[in-house]
Amino acid sequence: MSREEYQVPTGSGSATGGGGGGGSFNAPAARDYAGESGGTMYYMCGDCAVRVPLEKGAAIRCQKCGARVLYKERTKRMVQFEAR
Amino acid sequence: MPHKPPTKEELERRKIVGINEETITDVSSTDFPGHYPGEDHSWDIESFRRGFRIEFHQNDPFEASFSLIGVDASIANAFRRIMIADIPTLAIETVFINNNTSVIQDEVLSHRLGLIPFKGGHEGLHKFLKWWRKPTDEALVNNSYYDYNTVSLRLEVQCEHNDKAAAGETDPTKLYKHAHVYARDIEFCPVGRQDKYFSGADIIAPVNPDILIAKLRPGQEISLSMHMHKGVGSDHAKFSPVATASYRLMPVIKIERPILGRDAEKFARCFPRGVIGLEKVTKKEAAQKGSGYEGHDGELKAVVVDPMRDTVSRECLRHDEFKGKVKLGRRRDHFIYLVESTGQWESDAIFLEAVAHLKKRAADLEKQVINMVR
Ligand SMILES: [Zn+2]
């Protein structure tokens, strides 16, 4: 499974099968980033590392230092790896 | 001509691998049927019992050294391989990364986490925990994790500036909070009955809490959870219960003609400390004709004290003064094991488990063979 295909688990799946009687658990859910979504995207300033909010169509520029190099933030999704 | 049974010396000689300056002789064992005319060398449990011995040299929790004497290389090697590749341990298998803004990449971080050895309550690790099998249907994977086959861990670290740091401080560990992420920062999250097996001293924790996982700078964060499963070393080296499990053959040093005086001191220096000792030639030895000690009463002679400590460097064979006076070799049926545990098992228990494993495998094979001829 590629990481693009990955479906974020809901975290509320119930245990099925298994005669162990013990508690089962699912893969951990992704963090809750609700409230950060919407029209505003955040970027990282390449010069001063400040978090820059950018509206659609706004000038690509750091509001603090004026640098024009902004980086995309890391994905908010949980990413799964094999420890191998 | 009737066959004469071999003398004790002859039997002893057959067990020695010869080590010369540049060659090695008698590498293979000869105690099998048909090799010596008139001698029966078919395998027999009684004669094996008579010749077999185990000696422990060191038995610490994480390091054991012992000798198996009177066993064939095939068996000794089987134990070694089983210890490395077939004894199960618990290790991190899956990493769920929520955030990692450190300079170490997700893949590399996951790999590093997988290699960290963990310890925990023996009953829980060896009896309670079972194998986890990945379901063939990917959709069912989230319903395959239970308290008896999965151990959950967490690692949450954020690096910040330390306001209390002295002015002009240059040490990152003092300048910042959590500049270094160590194995001890990993947190065990018990589920279901795991509380019963892994609490107090039996908690699942890294064997070596000071393993450095990553370095952070202010604003960087690592936030992830992990699943541990049981596995074997043949699948991945992280599951191997041993750091080293090896054996060597017992060195044999035979001084055939006396080495005396300054030569004896030089001879002793050809070996690691403690292998060769110096003793005074006694009056009795000096009086004996043809012993080579005549007229050397009171001089120092070289004697073999502890051949086990020898590394068989063959240094003594390079010097002309010892030519023809010493013979080096190794005992073909004396295996000196060194087992170093990574911490999940006691090192002697790893060997016992290897013996049990070989027994079980042999019993399984027997069943198959019986089925085959039926
Ligand atoms: Zn900036």
The burial class, CB within 10 Å (0-12 / 13-18 / 19+), for B235 is middle
Partner A, chain B 210-249, Cβ-Cβ below 8 Å: 219, 223, 225-227, 236, 238
CB < 8 Å to A43, chain B: none
The number of residues making up chain B comes to 374
Question: Could you tell me the two tokens for B175?
Answer: 């300048």
In one-letter notation, the amino acid at residue B190 is P
CA of B216 to the centre of ligand 1 (A): 21
- CATH class, range B28-87+244-250+331-374: alpha beta
CB of B136 less than 8 A from some CB of A: no
Per-residue model confidence as pLDDT tens digits over B177-222: 999 999 999 999 999 999 999 999 999 999 999 999 999 999 899 9
User: Nearest residue on chain B to A84, judged by CA atoms?
Assistant: B111
From ligand 1's centre to the CA of A56, what distance in Å? 19
Cα–ligand 1 centroid distance for B161 (angstroms): 19
Contact present, B119 and B202 (Cβ < 8 Å): no
> Are B343 and B119 spatial neighbours (Cβ–Cβ below 8 Å)?
yes
Q: What is the CA radius of gyration of chain A?
A: 19
Structural domain of A38 = 32-72
For the whole model, what pTM was predicted?
0.84
- Nearest residue, CB atoms, B98 vs list A24, A78, A84: A78
Q: Delimit the domains of chain B by residue range.
A: 28-87+244-250+331-374, 89-239, 257-324
Residue A16 lies in a domain: no
CATH code matching the domain that covers B89-239, chosen among 3.10.20.440, 2.170.120.12, 3.40.50.1820, 2.40.50.140: 2.170.120.12
Domain spanning B257-324, CATH architecture? 2-Layer Sandwich (3.30)
Beta pairing, strands B118-119 & B53-60: unpaired
Answer whether B28-87+244-250+331-374 and B89-239 agree in fold. no
CA of A74 to the centre of ligand 1 (A): 18
In a domain, A23, yes or no: no
Strand partners, B160: B177
Interface A–B counts its CB contacts (< 8 A) at: 95
- Residue B143 sits at the chain A interface (C-beta within 8 Å): yes
- Residues from chain A contacting residue B101 (CB–CB below 8 Å): 74
A78 part of contact set with chain B, CB < 8 Å: yes
The tens place of each residue's pLDDT in chain B, 374 residues long, gives 567 888 999 999 999 999 999 999 999 999 899 999 888 889 999 999 999 999 999 999 999 999 999 999 999 999 999 999 999 999 999 999 999 999 999 999 999 999 999 999 999 999 999 999 989 998 898 889 999 999 999 999 999 999 999 999 999 999 999 999 999 999 999 999 999 999 999 999 999 999 999 999 998 999 999 999 999 999 999 999 999 999 999 999 999 999 999 999 999 999 999 999 999 998 888 888 888 888 888 899 999 999 999 999 999 999 999 999 999 999 999 999 999 999 999 999 999 999 999 999 999 999 999 999 98
